[in-house]
Chain A
Amino acid sequence: MNSALAFAAGLVFGVGLIVSGMTDPGKVIGFLDVAGAWDPSLAFVMGGAILVGFFAFAFAERRARTFLGAALQLPGRRDIDARLVGGAIVFGVGWGLAGFCPGPALVSFGSGQDKAAVFVLAMLAGMALFTVAERYTAGRPDRS
């Protein structure tokens, strides 16, 4: 039941990414290229998503459970540390290099493009590397 709904959410998310133009790396790079011929489309993607998301989250923040009775799991951290900023910068460099972020890369992989498969496999390797590194440092007291 819950998995079927998660599948539906993933499907709608993917269709949204395709319709919006986010699955076109050239369009993403065109948005990031503010010094060249700038394509502001992606600001409209974020604007549209936040327009809907703002009300959904405002509604959710006042509830403890979902419509189906499951617990609402919202991140509660508010601290800003070097990991957050450093990680976001590293992500941004990769995003600018290829024009892919995780969602659109997975959708393009789903459409059977070999280049997207290379990106996705490398991305999964990066995530796996993080998990291994976290396990390795977990026993140390100076973990930051």
Chain B
Amino acid sequence: MTIDWTHFTPWASLAGGMLIGVAAAMLLLLNGRIAGISGIVGGLFRPIAGDVAWRVAFVAGLLVSPVAVALFARTPFPRIEAGFGTLLVAGLLVGLGTAYGSGCTSGHGVCGLSRLSPRSLVATAAFMVAGVATVFIMRHVA
């Protein structure tokens, strides 16, 4: 194993991660909800009266966050290497997989692991292994 030192950003990633933790704590202690992005979005497909507005508001916050960052720093958008076909398939798999698996990187990986949930521990291990295997096949086999 070789470490990619040129792209390694421990401090920015740690700081950004802590902000994610703060956001999850805010939603938990103020709204009483888990900050799982796939769960928040997925719930909009099964709307329950009184349970829609906070979901829309949270997603709106996510959507405007690049604008907020652009006010303070001029950073170029990261490149998206994948082609349109790959993005279409990947998006569909992410949508289906997170729905059946009841969560994604935020719900299971951050909130679930913070709670020491056995379900989230298993799910996080499963999607990490599947992600590593997929990248291995794409980059080193195919």
Q: Which residues of A contact B (CB under 8 A)?
A: 2-27, 29-30, 32-42, 44-57, 59-61, 65-68, 70-75, 77-80, 83-103, 105-111, 113, 115-116, 118-131
Contacts and interface: CB of A to CB of B under 8 A. Distances in A.
B25 A53 contact: yes
Interface in B20-40: 20-35, 37-38
A3 B86 CA distance: 35
Contacts of B15: 19-20, 48
Contacts of A119: 87-88, 90-91, 94
A88 B112 CA distance: 13
Contacts, number: 494
Interface of B: 1-4, 7-10, 12-35, 37-38, 41-42, 45-46, 53-69, 75, 77-82, 84, 86-102, 104-106, 108-111, 113-115, 117-119, 122-124, 126-136, 138-140
Contacts of B140: 35-36
Nearest to A60: B28
Most chain A CB within 10 A, of B16, B101, B109, B140, is at B16
Most chain B CB within 10 A, of A20, A92, A128, is at A92
